[in-house]
Amino acid sequence: MERNSNSTNNINCVVDTKIGRTVLSFEELKVLRERKLTQEEADFSEEHLSIVWWFLNEYKLPADDWFDIVVLRYLLTVKRWFTLPQLRRYSFTTLAVSAMKSAVNTERRKQSRRPQTISLDASHKGTYGAPLVECLAG
């Protein structure tokens, strides 16, 4: 692996020469997430924001529920696009869509791990229509 430096953004990245992927350390990614967009990045993100709306429509995701999740990953992709010149060999749209898919999948995994609230007074699968409280009381 080689370490490359991008002095304009104070980001050092590791390029895995076997697969040609650029890998940021946790700290470098944290710095990238926390910094504000440059004017160039802000202009670029505004110009290409239609990608986010296309993505939400294409995958039938309600904007009220998913816009924040998707747009944050989109903005991180904009920062990475300008910070890591190695990414320029790919279409920005390809990178953005891939990142937004990842954000949606991550959020769905988080939601599936959250505890579900159930009512003890309602019938549940496997209770033959009886309230759960009766099954528990024995």
pLDDT tens-digit readout, 40-64: 999 999 999 999 999 999 999 999 9
Question: What rounded mean pLDDT belongs to the chain?
Answer: 84
Could you tell me the pLDDT band of residue 80, with boundaries at 50, 70 and 90? very high
pLDDT of residue 72 exceeding 90, the answer is yes
Segment 13-39 shows an average pLDDT of 76
Distance, in Å, from the CA atom of 96 to the CA atom of 74, rounded to the nearest integer, reads: 6
- Reported as type and span, the H/E element at residue 80 is helix 63-83
pLDDT of residue 14 exceeding 80, the answer is no
Lowest mean pLDDT among 2-16, 31-45, 56-70: 2-16
Instruction: Yes or no: say if 77 and 84 are a contact pair by the CB < 8 Å rule.
Output: no
Report the predicted TM-score, pTM, of the whole model to 2 decimal places: 0.71
Instruction: Yes or no: say if 101 and 94 are a contact pair by the CB < 8 Å rule.
Output: no
Segment 112-124 shows an average pLDDT of 82
pLDDT at 34: 92
pLDDT of residue 69 exceeding 80, the answer is yes
Distance, in Å, from the CA atom of 117 to the CA atom of 77, rounded to the nearest integer, reads: 36
Q: What's 77's DSSP letter?
A: H
